[in-house]
């Protein structure tokens, strides 16, 4: 999936930004850029499901590698 940013501008002036196709922390770079361009401040942020899925996969791989090393001890 291509990296994309989806914006929703609410009636009260709040802007909701969601990154798509970003499974690493580069999304924070985009967030900082948007804050600068829009002269805005982040009120709240969460990791996307895409990011969390990749994070869990990476953690599982590390655990499996650590287990493999212990098996040779």
Segment 43-53 mean pLDDT:
75
Distance, CA of 33 to CA of 22 (rounded, Å): 15
pLDDT of residue 59: 60
For residue 11, what pLDDT is reported? 94
Q: How many domains does the chain fold into?
A: 1
Do 31 and 37 contact (CB within 8 A), yes or no? no
Residue, of 8 and 22, whose pLDDT is higher? 8
The percent helix, strand, coil of the chain (3-state, each to 5) is: 50, 15, 35
Asked whether residue 51 carries a pLDDT value surpassing 60, the answer given is: yes
Predicted structure pTM score: 0.53
Average pLDDT over residues 44-71: 64
Provide the domain limits for residue 35. Answer: 4-72
């Amino acid at each position: 999936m291509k990296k994309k940013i989806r914006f929703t501008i609410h009636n009260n002036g709040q802007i909701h930004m969601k990154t798509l196709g970003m499974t690493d922390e580069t999304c924070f770079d985009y967030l900082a850029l948007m804050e600068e361009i829009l002269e805005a401040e982040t009120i709240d942020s969460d990791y996307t499901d895409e990011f969390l899925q990749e994070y869990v996969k990476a953690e599982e791989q590390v655990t499996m590698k650590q287990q493999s090393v212990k098996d040779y001890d």
